[in-house]
Amino acid sequence: MNRWLRHHRYALQVSLRRLWLHPFSSLANIVVIALMLTVPILGASVLQSSQPLARQLAVAPELTLFLSPGTPAPQQQALLERLRAQAGDKISQARLLPRDQAMAQLRADPTWAQALDALADNPLPDALIVTLRDSDAPAREAQALADTWRQWPGIDHVQLDSEWVRRLESLLSFVKVGLGLLAIAVLVVVLATVFNTVRLQALTQRNEIAVARLVGATESFVRRPFLYLGALTGLAASLLSLLLAWLALTPLNTLLGRFAESYGIDWTMHLPDTADLLLSGLLVVIMGAVAARLSVTRHTQF
């Protein structure tokens, strides 16, 4: 165990010394990776911070269930109770809107009052107004409920007011797919940068590696410092990207704060959750080590 620890400590010291001996190239590689990592971090910040904002801007999905003409009052009440019993966990509010009350609301609007006076009788049907709770997929959930309720006897038509929900979900889905593609591009950049860095280091240290092999150094002993080099590069780039993202959010929040105040809303962007940041940083470190492993395997066969 002590021998294993000594070998890893020696590999870590060698990799740190190699970074120190080539400060400009090492810093350039770290900055390039960090800049690429900063973009998806800011994108994730926008996506995560926009979800509460969307709830502030939008109203909850609402469905209007128009009842068949001549539906008696007891059956209307029975339909309302059935709604609450079968979908109570998805419904925020459900109420009965009688046709006379709906007509009175329309007559209260001056733009409709004169036109409604020309009608001989009330053409409006009785209706049930259902407001849904917030959910991760409001449009799909509202559509599923509407399809179910259309099959119920006594319900003539279901009007689904969720066009804005579909647009919002489409926009958020587009952003998520874009962030996924951007994350893949970042991983490619990490692999290419670390691969090329380790390749140059291996070629520079080829004489040292040859002497180490002559005195009995194993392949693992020779390659281990390069693996640490890739992992340290990924770690440094991850930390620098967090700093850059945090610095970028400060002026962005100042500008967004003025914009949000003009609309009477509160919107502040913040970094993603700590667990997500740790997981992404760990992934970058692992990818750095993997890239180094691939490079050192290919370019140390002297």
7-24 mean pLDDT: 72
Per-residue pLDDT band at 82 (split at 50, 70, 90): confident
Return the pLDDT at 214: 63
261-272 mean pLDDT: 72
241: burial class by Cβ within 10 Å (0-12, 13-18, 19+)? Answer: buried
Characterize 119-155 residue by residue with b for buried, 16 or more Cβ atoms within 10 angstroms of its Cβ, and e for exposed: eeeeebbbbbebebeeeeebbebbbebbeebeeeebb
**What percent of the chain lies above the pLDDT cut of 70?**
73
For residues 57 and 265, what is the distance between their CA atoms, to the nearest angstrom? 8
Q: Which residues contact 84 (CB under 8 A, 6 or more apart)?
A: 91, 94
Return the pLDDT at 302: 44
230-257 mean pLDDT: 85
Return the pLDDT at 299: 55
Across the chain, mean pLDDT equals 76
Per-residue pLDDT band at 178 (split at 50, 70, 90): confident
240-261 mean pLDDT: 82
Number of other CB atoms surrounding residue 118 within 10 Å: 6
For residues 282 and 266, what is the distance between their CA atoms, to the nearest angstrom? 33
For residues 58 and 50, what is the distance between their CA atoms, to the nearest angstrom? 12
Q: Select from 284, 280, 282, 233 the least CA-distant residue to 28.
A: 233
Per-residue pLDDT band at 191 (split at 50, 70, 90): confident
Query: Does the global pTM surpass 0.85?
Result: no
Note the pLDDT tens digit of each residue in 84-136: 888 778 888 888 888 888 788 777 777 766 776 766 777 788 888 888 877 66
Identify the bridge partners of residue 109 per DSSP, sorted by sequence position: none
Q: Which residue has the higher pLDDT, 98 or 222?
A: 98
For residues 182 and 36, what is the distance between their CA atoms, to the nearest angstrom? 9
Q: Are 92 and 131 a contacting pair, CB within 8 Å?
A: yes
Q: What is the CATH number of domain 62-161?
A: 3.30.70.3040
Give the residue range(s) of CATH 3.30.70.3040 domains in the chain.
62-161
Q: Which residue has the higher pLDDT, 190 or 211?
A: 190
- At 262, the amino acid letter reads S
Return the pLDDT at 60: 61
Strand order in the sheet with 91-97: 91-97, 127-132, 62-67, 155-161
pLDDT of 300 above 60: no
Lowest mean pLDDT among 21-30, 110-119, 286-295: 110-119
